[in-house]
Amino acid sequence: MPDFRLRKMMLFSETIHHENGPPPATPRRRAAIVAVVANPFAGTWQEDLQSAMDDLKPLGLQMTDELITALGGVDGIDGYGKAALAGEGGELEHTALWHVPGGYSMRERLGEAKAIVPSAMKVGGLGTPIDIPLGHINAAYVRSHFDAMEVRLPDAPRAGEIIFALAMSRGPRIHDRMGGLTTAEVKGEDGLREPQYCVGGGTNIALNRYRRLRGGKR
C-alpha cells in the first residue's frame, strides 16, 4: 500500500460581501482545504497507479468533512471543485490520483451531486499557486457558478510531496449577470443542463439557434 503520509492541512475561507456593486442580502461563502502529503511515486516510474486511488478515499472524506464544517454545514452548498499539485520528482499523472477520491468524497457528502467536479492539475515547486475551479454541483451549464479559488502554500509542495485540494461554495458569483441556465431551473437530472433545454436526439436548443444564425452550417 502506498504511503501518502500527511504533513499538514490548511483551510482557506472567504465571505464576499460585494465587488463594488450593490451588496446582496446574503454574502457569498467559499472555502478550500488542502492536504500536503508524501508522494510515494515521486522519482520513479509506476505503471499501475489506479489502485492507489482507493488508498486516498479516507483522506478525501476527512477533507470534505472539515470543509463542510468550515462552511457551517451542508445546507446551501451548491458549488464544488478539486485540484492537485505535484512537487519535484512527481509527474502530472500523479495528480490525477485525486480524480476519484476527491470527487467521490464530495458527491457522497453532498447527497450524490450530479455534475462533473471541475478539476485542475499541475506540477510546480514551493509556493506555486493553483486555481481550484468551481462549478454548480448539479448542472455544469449554470454560468453563475463558474469560478475559481486560488490557493498557495509558501512551504509546499516540497520535493517528493503532492498537494491535494478541494473547494466548495455557497451561492453564485456575488454580482453574476451573464444569464443562461439559472439555479431555479436546475433539476439535477443529467448533471449538465435541463430537459427543457434539449430536443430529440439530445440536440441543444441554443445550438440549433446558433446554427440557424449561421444559415444551417455546423
Per-residue model confidence as pLDDT tens digits over 98-137: 999 999 999 999 987 889 999 999 999 999 999 999 999 9
- Whether residue 1 is contained in a domain is answered as no
Q: Is residue 207 part of a domain?
A: no
* Rounded Cα–Cα distance for residues 111 and 50 (Å): 25
- Residue 212 placed within a domain: no
Residue 9, amino acid: M
Q: What is the CATH number of the domain that holds 88?
A: 3.30.1330.110
Tally of domains in the chain:
1
Output b/e per residue, 180-209; b: 16+ Cβ within 10 A: ebeeeebeeebebbbeebeeeeeeeeeeee
Element at 109 (helix H, strand E): helix 99-109
Q: Say if CB 140 and CB 134 are below 8 A apart.
A: no
Structural domain includes residue 80? yes
In whole angstroms, give the CA distance from residue 119 to residue 135. Answer: 10
> Is it the case that residue 196 has pLDDT exceeding 60?
no
Return the pLDDT at 217. Answer: 40
Look at residue 149 and give its three-state secondary structure: strand
Q: Is residue 202 part of a domain?
A: no
CB 192 within 8 A of CB 99: no
Predicted local distance difference test score (pLDDT) of residue 199: 30
Q: Which domain holds residue 172?
A: 6-186
Say if 19 falls within a structural domain: yes
Check if the beta carbon of residue 171 is closer than 8 Å to that of residue 78: yes
**Three cell numbers, residue 144:** 453563475
Better-scored residue on pLDDT, 190 or 203: 190
Residue 163 in any domain: the answer is yes
* Assigned domain for 27 exists: yes
Separation of alpha carbons 165 and 11, rounded Å: 10
pTM: 0.86
Burial state string for 137-159 with b = 16 or more CB within 10 A and e = fewer than 16: bbbbbbbbbbbbbebbbeebbbe
pLDDT digits (tens, 9 = 90+) for 24-70: 999 999 999 999 999 999 999 999 999 999 999 999 999 999 999 99
Half-sphere exposure for 77 (CA within 13 Å, toward CB): 26
